[in-house]
Structure 1
Amino acid sequence: MKHIRKMIVAVLVSIAVIIFIYNFTSNSERKFVKVNDASDTPLTTFTVINNENFAGTTNTHRFDIRAGFSYVKVSFKNTGSKHFTFTINEGSTSGTAIKSGSVPADGKEHTYYSDKALSTGSYYVSTSSAQGMSGILDLSLGTDVN
């Protein structure tokens, strides 16, 4: 009987040591999320257009604001020799203007933000210049104004 008790105690101690070593060496906070699996951490930004080159006298890019996002951040890098203008319109290229501006030809990145929450749907960012233009466009959606 004493022999069985010793074996049971030895097994229990061994299990406790294994559990202790496992907990000490593993990171119990680590989470693995597969692509396309839902995450419990909400996204705050979502890149829609990334380093898109444009040239000529007019360009239009369509993008969609999806559920959970309400703000637009658009960045331009004018690599041409003349300034150009841009407009963001809702629904169509001639729809309600959300944001517009002029981008100088200084080779620097210029960033513009929508100042009001936007609804889901289709939007268009158009660039134009009478002299021709070249540049790079980035556009991201956000959950807040910044």
Structure 2
Amino acid sequence: MKHVRKMIVAVLVSAAVIILIYNFTSNSEGRFVKANEPRNTPSTTLTVINNEDFAGTANTHRFNIPAGFGYVKASFKNKGAKDFTFTINEGSTSGTAITSGSVPADGKEHTYYSDKALSTGSYYVSTSSAQGMSGILDVSLGTDVN
């Protein structure tokens, strides 16, 4: 009977040591979330236009929104002496206007976000100015509004 107790204690101690070693060396950072607690999952982003220079009086840049993405962030830096305007259209340069605006000639980055999910497909960013313009364009896609 003494041997059985010793064996049971040895097995329990060994199991406890193995569990402790696993917990200290594991890279998992799993966290349980209550059913009604919001999940803090990071947004996935995809850059589709990166530091694209543009100049002149009119430019158009095309990008696609693939499945799983739907939110657009467009950033402009106006390096010219005059303001310019932009429009983002769906499907073609004359398609449905998603958003538009004016970018001041202050050399700072100005960012515009879609506040609703857009459908997959082709989109066009058009910039124009009566005067010559100089700028940089970045467009990123996201899986959520943040």
Give the TM interval when normalised to the shorter protein: 0.7 to 0.9
Once the two structures are superposed, residues 33-77 of structure 1 have per-residue CA deviations (whole angstroms, 9 ceiling, x without a partner) of: xxxxxxxx8752111111111101001000000111111000000
Partner in structure 1 of residue 140 of structure 2: 140
- Structure 1 residues 61 and 27: alpha-carbon distance in aligned structure 2, compared to 1, 3 A threshold: same
Where in structure 2 are the equivalents of 1:110-121 lying within 5 Å? 110-121=110-121
Query: What is residue 65 of structure 1 aligned with on the other side?
Result: 65
Q: How does 1:1-146 map to 2 (within 5 A)?
A: 27=27, 44-146=44-146
Q: What is the CA deviation profile of residues 74-129 of structure 1, one whole-angstrom value per residue up to 9, with x for unaligned ones?
A: 00000000000000000000000000000000000000011221100000000000
Change (3 A) 1:113 1:138: same
Partners of 1:66 and 1:47 in 2: how far apart?
A: 12
Gaps of at least 5 residues in structure 1 are: 1-16, 30-40
- Alpha-carbon deviations, 1:12-48, whole Å to 9, x = none? xxxxx9xx9898667467xxxxxxxxxxx87521111
User: Any unmatched runs of 5+ in structure 2?
Assistant: 1-16, 30-40
Q: TM-score, normalised by structure 1?
A: 0.73
Aligned to 2:36: none
Kept after mapping to 1: 8 A contact 2:90/2:124: yes
Q: Count the aligned residue pairs.
A: 136
Aligned position for 1:33: none
2:13 is matched with none
1:145–1:105: structure 2 CA closer, same or farther, 3 Å change rule?
Answer: same
Runs of 4+, deviation exceeding 3 Å: 20-29
Structure 2 counterpart SS, 1:73: strand
TM-score calculated relative to the size of structure 2: 0.73
Q: Taking every aligned residue pair, what percent have the same amino acid on both sides?
A: 88
**How far apart are the structure 1 equivalents of 2:109 and 2:93?**
24
